[in-house]
Structure 1
């Protein structure tokens, strides 16, 4: 099915979804219905975005760390809603989904109910979209990954660098420092 048709189906499903469906995502031939995140998940998202925004205001005015916006690449047939992404505030003015060329980093906080989405689907989709940096925060076990430098492989575009970390460490997301000590575990 072509992407435009998939998008129409996803929009129709979202219009009739139960109240606890928070967003829809599209990856290949799959429509993913996202449930409302848990409070601890949202606490990490809030703390991380606030932490990044302080750095962005100092180093890169015009960029924001924000969650709740879609990122969409019709050419690759992918629509995602990262927990946090770094992009120009002006990208929100169009009223459309943010284009991946405007995004410098995405962050996902792993949910209890669907960790495969962050570790498999999004680990495949974000480099395909050309997102330079992908941070995975996993409160299930207090760990995470920083992935960067997308490059072409026989399996498609994949990240070429990977750094594992434990909560409590300071990690680099591009040029930004991420303090992980304040993240709770589930």
Structure 2
């Protein structure tokens, strides 16, 4: 993609002065603001995965959770559950990372976010050439790693592992291993 930050307003600009309620995950899809209550299970997965990733990055990249990322469209503003930012990436003039700075995105899905995470985010992340998109599904107790993105909005490779197996993230020039045996099963 050849879009630069000066070509497109960020979807997040619409929320610049808004006071958002705490306890909600906020994203923008198709120009619509979507607020989803933060679930306990989702948070526990993030709490277990993030420190493992951060420790292995050891200063060669950064891990973010629920942080606004600028995408190449004013209709989309995602704040991934977990995002691995490539080493050497710099914040843009709005103080945010952009889609091309991401090496991997991990989303923890729930019943309320399942369609959104499987369809719209899957397509957007692939179109933006994010190398890895991992869907963590506590109800199925699986992690699905999507890799080799295409400009047509798909990933050509997919691997599913069960909770209890190691989640291996092959990043540029290094590999991150996340132990999933402590990931909680979805309640209900």
Which residue number in structure 2 is paired with residue 23 of structure 1? 26
- The number of residue pairs the alignment matches comes to 175
Q: Per the alignment, do residues 157 and 138 of structure 1 end up closer, same or farther by CA in structure 2, a change over 3 Å counting?
A: same
Shift of 1:23: 1.6
Which residue number in structure 1 is paired with residue 34 of structure 2? 33
Alignment gaps of 5+ in structure 1: none
RMSD between aligned residues: 2.7
Matched, 1:11 2:7: no
Cα deviations by residue, 1:121-152 (Å, 9 ceiling, x for unpaired): 11111111121111110011211200011123
Structure 2 CA distance, aligned partners of 1:92 and 1:40? 30
Q: How does 1:73-84 map to 2 (within 5 A)?
A: 73-75=71-73, 77-84=75-82
Shift of 1:17: 5.4
Structure 2 CA distance, aligned partners of 1:56 and 1:106? 15
* TM-score normalised over the length of structure 1: 0.80
Task: Return the structure number with greater helix share.
Answer: 1
Alignment gaps of 5+ in structure 2: 1-7
Q: How does 1:85-100 map to 2 (within 5 A)?
A: 85-87=83-85, 88=87, 91=90, 96-100=95-99
Q: How does 1:56-75 map to 2 (within 5 A)?
A: 56-57=57-58, 61-75=59-73
* TM-score normalised over the length of structure 2: 0.79
